[in-house]
Amino acid sequence: MGRALVWDATCVDSLAASHLPSTSQKAAAAAESAQMLKRPKMFLLRQAVSNARQLAPSVRAMSSKGPLVDLTVDNDGVAIMTLQRPPVNSLNLDLLKEISKSLDDVAKNKSRGMILTSSSPTVFSAGLDIMEMYKPDMKRAEEFWTTLQDVWFKLYGSSFATAAAINGHAPAGGCLLSMSCEYRAMVGGKFTIGLNETALGIVAPKWFMDTMCRTISMRQAELALTTAKMFTVDEALKCELIDEIATDKADAINKCKTFLKKFEKIPPLARAITKLKMREEPIKNLQTSRQADVQEFLSFLKNPKVQQSLEMYIQALKQKAAK
């Protein structure tokens, strides 16, 4: 119907002086090298189309409200992902699956950026759901850990810009989620944030540690990880675990938006590649040790001492909640 079947073709002169050395070594080498040269051009072209789409009207229909994650796009084209698993947004398999799917949706919808927050007035996220680790079904535990890894890959390695509006406590996995974002504004008050795994008799996985070491200084991270330090909001600001203190959730979201606005004049491709290069090492490390990391988690769950520690921790939490 009048449409071009071939819209971009390159005829290579295999006998051109520049191609002769490679063509004499390998048949079709000239075509192969022409194709390689074309790839970056196509990549930039695709990116230009995608950037143009990014400037399209800002309110877009995005994935519908899920029960555990609410994902909306505001008038500025910023995606707001709200965790809503009462009472404390503990990260069980279902919540992790929804976060993972929502991150895919944000990536597909080419939002200007994403802000992660919580529907609870006092808890950003209580971290991993301890019930997923206590006397677990091993098949489910494997899926649980793999999904957590997926969430981290997608959030830490997202090409879209991310910020966390931390509107409450953020221990362990909650702290990890916020540290995986590029910017953190935390509501001031009695809230705390940190990787407290050792207090539970467990060990933060290496990629949790790497994420922290790339947020605060190595010295502060080592002290914090070994002592299960939960930082007050003021302490977190001082050691740069967070970037700003907010007066309330709305202020935290506004501060995150102000951060995201900084990218308005930065070409998105340059920003994304820079971010990914900066974060490449820990991502590659987990990619290569992914299976071993799952096996370590599973064998750690089978350790009776770990199960005993978890049981005591659950009892302590329940007693505290009952008061």
- Region for 237 from its dihedrals, namely left if φ exceeds 0, alpha if ψ lies in -120 to 50, beta otherwise: alpha
Pairing of strands 231-232, 192-194: antiparallel
Task: Write down the least CB distance from residue 311 to ligand LH6CIYWY, Å.
Answer: 12
Find the binding residues for ligand LH6CIYWY in span 185-214 (CB under 6 A). 196-197, 200, 202-203, 205
Q: Which stretch binds ligand LH6CIYWY (CB under 6 A): 49-57, 84-92, 215-223, 274-282?
A: 84-92
Is 167 tagged catalytic? no
Is 168 tagged catalytic? no
Q: Residue 218 to residues 98, 178, 182, 213, 225: CA-CA distances in angstroms?
A: 32, 18, 18, 5, 10
Q: Which is nearer to ligand LH6CIYWY, 23 or 89 (CB)?
A: 89
Please identify which residue in 28, 60, 67, 87 interacts with ligand LH6CIYWY, judged by CB under 6 A.
87
Active-site hit among 197, 241, 260, 286? 197
Q: Which stretch binds ligand LH6CIYWY (CB under 6 A): 36-44, 103-111, 239-247, 293-301?
A: 293-301
What are the structure tokens assigned to 268, written together? 């998105």
Is residue 222 classed as helix, strand or coil in its secondary structure? helix
Q: Which is nearer to ligand LH6CIYWY, 40 or 304 (CB)?
A: 304
The site string for ligand LH6CIYWY over 92-131 (x = CB under 6 A, - otherwise) reads ------------------------------xx--xxxxxx
The HSE-up count of residue 184 (CA atoms within 13 Å, CB side) is 27
Beta bridge partners of 244: 185
- Cα of 91 vs its chain's centroid, Å: 14
What are the structure tokens assigned to 183, written together? 């910017």
Angstrom distance (rounded) from CA 75 to CA 78: 7
Task: Write down the least CB distance from residue 68 to ligand LH6CIYWY, Å.
Answer: 14
Is 77 tagged catalytic? no
Q: Which is nearer to ligand LH6CIYWY, 203 or 272 (CB)?
A: 203
Q: Which residues contact 138 (CB under 8 A, 6 or more apart)?
A: 298, 301
- Count of residues engaged in binding ligand LH6CIYWY, rule: CB under 6 A: 29
- Does residue 282 belong to the site contacting ligand LH6CIYWY (CB under 6 A)? no
Task: Write down the least CB distance from residue 291 to ligand LH6CIYWY, Å.
Answer: 14
- Rounded to the nearest 5°, which phi and psi values hold at 260? -65, -30
Angstrom distance (rounded) from CA 54 to CA 144: 34
The site string for ligand LH6CIYWY over 144-173 (x = CB under 6 A, - otherwise) reads -------------------------x-xxx
- Amino acid residing at 156: Y
- CB neighbours of residue 202 within 10 Å: 21
Largest CA distance in the chain: 84
Could you give the residue ranges of the DSSP H alpha helices within 57-172? 93-108, 138-156
Q: Which residues contact 260 (CB under 8 A, 6 or more apart)?
A: 78, 112, 113, 115, 161, 163, 183
Active-site hit among 89, 92, 167, 196? 196
Active-site hit among 128, 155, 260, 301? 128
Is 196 tagged catalytic? yes
Chain residues binding ligand LH6CIYWY by CB under 6 A are: 87-88, 90, 122-123, 126-131, 169, 171-173, 196-197, 200, 202-203, 205, 296-297, 300, 306, 317-318, 320-321
Residues marked as catalytic: 128, 173, 196-197
